[in-house]
Amino acid sequence: MIGRLRGILASKQPPWLLIDVGGVGYEVEAPMSTIFELPETGREIALFVHYAAKEDTVSLYGFLRDAERTLFRTLQKVSGIGAKTALAVLSGTSTEDFARLVLAGDIAALTRIPGIGKKTAERIIVELRDRVDGMALPVSSRGEGGLPKDPQAEATSALQQLGYKPVEAARLVKDSAASGDDAETILRKALKAALR
């Protein structure tokens, strides 16, 4: 099993990362919350990794914090939630905010996350309430990243990767973007607006 990777960030194409570890390139899928905090390509990074082996594929999922990896694993224990939905949850909200939504029983806010319907939200609340209550939820620190050429297009593309329809993604970006905002800022604003 692979639990952690340290190497050079060779490329960033959300939600995919390519990490060069001693000449071997590992393709890792990561939530937007992790991708936002990574440095520019060519720099060394370290990620906590979830290794998933299925009948015909092996997948690696990367996270900056162990609490995110723990939540990713915990979410998949809920019936109807797979890796894609778990990544969408982590991309759309912090572990701390997610725990608050679950503890508050906020079904409406949970259903605004792509891939989560009313029944799944209800199952999350019932099955995870006790688990998230005791979960360590550290406050994240912000990393530095380069400015993209077209922040609105990058934010729209990232929303589509998270499961939003193209028209909805474009509307959220248009409503959230302000002059001078980078893609990360636009995406954070759009995700917050979508959860309201």
Domain 151-195: state its class. Answer: mainly alpha
State pTM to two decimals. 0.69
Q: What is the largest CA-CA distance in the chain?
A: 48
Q: What are 87-144's pLDDT values in tens digits?
A: 988 988 888 888 888 888 889 888 888 778 899 999 999 999 888 765 534 433 333 3
- Alpha-carbon distances, residue 148 vs 13, 81, 100, 118 (angstroms): 12, 32, 32, 36
In the CATH scheme, what is the code of domain 4-63? 2.40.50.140
**Other beta carbons within 10 Å of 156:** 25
- Alpha-carbon distances, residue 127 vs 102, 123, 132, 179 (angstroms): 10, 6, 10, 42
Q: Cα torsion for 146, 147, 150, 151, to the nearest 10°?
A: 100
Per-domain residue ranges of the chain: 4-63, 66-133, 151-195
**pLDDT 10s digit of each residue in the chain, 196 long?**
889 999 999 999 989 999 999 999 999 999 998 998 999 999 999 999 999 998 889 999 999 999 899 999 999 999 889 999 999 889 888 888 888 888 888 898 888 887 788 999 999 999 998 887 655 344 333 333 333 347 887 888 788 777 787 778 888 888 888 888 888 888 888 888 887 7
1.10.150.120, 1.10.150.20, 3.40.640.10, 3.10.28.10: CATH of 66-133: 1.10.150.20
